[in-house]
Structure 1
Amino acid sequence: MTRTLVNRVLLALLGLALLTGGAWAAVTGFLGDRVPSWWRGPGSEERLVDRDRYRELAGHDWWDAASMGALAVLAVLALWWLLAQPVRGRSRVLRLPRPWLGVRTQALTSAAEQDIERLPSVRSGRVRIGSGRGGRLRVAVTVRLEASAQPALLLGELHAGPLANLRTATGAEQMDSVVRLRRGRQRAVRVR
């Protein structure tokens, strides 16, 4: 099991427990004596903390500060845990090796697609750019070929041309790339 999966399952279980407890407390509190006999809940005279015990704790000077501090620490920890979860999706700005320098992913993608479409026997190209393992640049390229295309030659041209330009433009020392070549006609346009 991955760490992300464990974190998401634990967050879901915690959220479900809080939601269930809140719904139970709300229904019991709003309906009061009108709840059915099988409904488990505190009676009208029962409290979560005994009144005598609460008065005893509230009499100490440290009680208010300790209870508020514990709740604040729990809230900060829960918020930190939530924000520490990885975000899915592509970043809009790709950070370059130089400090404070970045390039819009959409602009870089558009330029790489234009480079690919300039290659001979390429009908269209689609590029997705993101970060891979260890912060390495990850590029996924889908190229739709014409019927007369030679894939072996095209892969060499793709590696020496658009992918090399992309590596140079981003300053990436290493780049993970996945290339998918598709041949054949595109789907027919349907007319109604």
Structure 2
Amino acid sequence: MSLISVKDLTVSRGGMPVLEGLEFSVSSGEVLVLRGPNGSGKTTLLRTLAGLQPPYAGVVSVDPDTVAYAAHADGVKATLSVAENLAFWAGVYGGQEIAEALLHFNLDALRDRPAGNLSAGQKRRLGLARLMVTGRPVWVLDEPTVSLDAASVALFASAVKAHVAAGGAAVIATHIDLGFEERVFDVGPYKARMDVVRDDFDEAFL
């Protein structure tokens, strides 16, 4: 079952198209890895898939209520404990249990520590643990392994494996090998022609 479908999509940054003519779909049980040099438009594409900005042209077919998005910011509240952060997000997304996420990302021993006192890697693990409490089938992830050591990267990879094995899907922009079966989509060939500009486009962020 297709969870994301993209047809003749153009995405833009600052009102200027950066990628055009994109066509792909992502099905249940599948991981799509985006590749391309820094500045090539991967983040802009992910934000468009997540509904944070509208397409410049073309169609993105995905139910916004199925998407959980994680970008460079960890999205943690410094004054709340690790467990309170996860409980907050679980409440926002519908009350998923937090125990499994704490254990999976090796955070249980830190459950009562204020998030502001965590290391960069611990904050990243907490940010990624949020994915597990959303209950949402589509994970859209922008460089999720930043600040993670090798052991923590392995924890993240196993979480993605379990997610897709349960029928979920993931779209991930990353430069590293996560060690699981994936389909690679290189955005390089879709670099937009700079002479294509629509005067009527309003790039309002949602």
TM-score range, shorter chain: under 0.3
Which has the bigger relative contact order, CA under 8 A and spacing at least 6? Answer: 2
More helix as a share of residues: 1
Structure of greater Rg? 1
What's the TM-score once normalised by structure 2's chain length?
Answer: 0.24
